[in-house]
Structure 1
Amino acid sequence: MIVEIVDYGVESGKYFIEYSVSGLSLNQMEFLNSELSEKTEICGDIFKIKMYFNEKLYPFQSDVAKMRIDDFIAREEIEMNIFLSSFLEDM
């Protein structure tokens, strides 16, 4: 599974991160699509997930994150990979 952040920022006053996930089977994508409460969609062989955060929990809002954004993006991609992997264990 490969997780990439494809977009992040503020949308209609809400903080968000959009992820693109590749390397999943159709069964895995359908399972995640039906079980996750976040906004999800299947686009061919790519699974997309969009998560919304309040300002306190948004990982890219700090001054440190703005200076070291690549490090923060990498960490978020790893965390999402772990989250999805653990979720798929229930499949």
Structure 2
Amino acid sequence: MEVKITDYSQGKVNYVEYLVSNLSFDQLNYLNDNLEEETNIIGDNLSVKMYFSDELYPFQSDVAKFRLDDFIAREEIEMNIFLSSFLEDM
């Protein structure tokens, strides 16, 4: 499984959108059907959009503004771990 952040925003609505690829057909449908987050199947990939409060938004700190690539990579890794653990219940 590969997870990439495709979009994010902080403002009136704080969100991060992920594109998840390299899933089996069963994994793709399981995640789409069971995640509480907003999901869409796009071809063979899954789009997951998560909304955050100001306090939990992952790119809010001053450090994130200067080391954004590091924060994006960490967030992609954390989402990969979350989805992998979620798939264990499949």
Same fold (TM over 0.5): yes
Q: Structure 1 runs of 4+ off > 2 angstroms? A: none
- The equivalent residue for 1:6 is 6
Amino acid at match of 1:42: I
Q: When the two structures are superposed, what TM-score results if normalisation uses the length of structure 2?
A: 0.97
- The equivalent residue for 2:88 is 89
Distance 2:35 2:13 in 1: 19
Distance 2:13 2:42 in 1: 24
- The equivalent residue for 1:23 is 22
Post-superposition shift, 1:10? 3.2
- The equivalent residue for 1:80 is 79
Secondary structure at the aligned position of 2:70 is classed as helix
Once superposed, what is the RMSD of the aligned Cα atoms?
0.9
Gaps of 5+ in 2: none
- Per-residue CA deviation, residues 36-60 of structure 1 (Å, 9 max, x unaligned), is 1100011111111000000000010
Gaps of 5+ in 1: none
Amino acid at match of 1:36: L
Distance 2:34 2:77 in 1: 20
Q: When the two structures are superposed, what TM-score results if normalisation uses the length of structure 1?
A: 0.96
Amino acid at match of 1:10: Q
User: How many residues are matched?
Assistant: 90
Identity of counterpart residues, as a percentage? Answer: 63
